[in-house]
Amino acid sequence: MNTEEQIQISVEATPNPHSMKFTVSQNIAEENWETEDINKAGRSPLAQKILGFPWASKVFIGPNFITINKEDWVEWEVLTEPLSQMIHEHIESKQVVLHPPVSEEKKEAENSEEDSETVQKIKQILEKEIQPAVAMDGGFISFAGFENGTVFLKMQGACAGCPSSTVTLKQGIETHLKNQISEVQQVVAL
């Protein structure tokens, strides 16, 4: 009798019509990672496979999901089932989804002890309150900086290029941060 849990892949549409979220029934990565260049996809053999097809434009890997962006000329109805099968086979055969980073410098920069109290609050709100909601739609928003009252964020996964990302950014994230932190005047996507 096999005691290992059967891997399940569920597919969910995102607010971005060019993105689809493939949720995996187990954790597949320790961090969030994104690429749109097959030549820079060396950390992820799965992303290399996906980007090897001409219809794929970007791959975002989260802790238990993969968001794939497609080109305009192909429809999800054609791609969803083959992609689900490819992801399932890759994970079930215990192939690496995402190799660990070469260094810990990036993580240290993300959580620097030299951050001001305001930056620490912004990062905490992003991580605890905003990221879980954004991840439900196959996206990720990373902190890129805070200067003169402006919070700079990088939109990733389904958030990148999403028609509703401006509304999410201004009416959701900006409003929430301004209500929580008086120093925040605006939020801008890079």
Q: How far apart are CA 178 and CA 182, in angstroms?
A: 6
Residue 105 in this model has a pLDDT that exceeds 60? no
Q: How far apart are CA 153 and CA 162, in angstroms?
A: 15
Tokens 């109290």 appear where?
117
Q: Give the chain's mean pLDDT.
A: 88
Tens of pLDDT along 19-77? 999 999 999 999 999 999 998 898 999 999 999 999 999 999 999 999 999 999 999 99
Work out the widest C-alpha separation in the chain, in whole angstroms.
61
The answer as to CATH 3.30.300.130 being correct for domain 109-189 is: yes
Q: How far apart are CA 92 and CA 95, in angstroms?
A: 8
Residue 115 in this model has a pLDDT that exceeds 50? yes
pLDDT of residue 111: 57
For residue 62, report the phi and psi dihedrals to the nearest 5 degrees.
Answer: -110, -175
Residue 75 · residue 55 · CB < 8 Å? no
Class of domain 9-92: alpha beta
First to last CA, the chain: 51
pLDDT of residue 110: 53
Choice between 18 and 160, residue whose per-residue pLDDT is larger: 18
Residue 24, strand partner residues: 9
Cα 136–Cα 137–Cα 141 angle in degrees, nearest 5: 90
Q: How far apart are CA 179 and CA 43, in angstroms?
A: 38
Q: How many CA atoms lie within 13 A of 113 on its CB side?
A: 0
> What does the block give as tokens for 33?
């990672």
Tens of pLDDT along 72-93? 999 999 999 999 999 999 999 9
pTM of the predicted structure, to 2 decimals: 0.77
Q: How far apart are CA 125 and CA 56, in angstroms?
A: 32
Cα–chain center distance at 87: 16
- What is the residue extent of each domain of the chain? 9-92, 109-189
Q: How far apart are CA 141 and CA 152, in angstroms?
A: 10
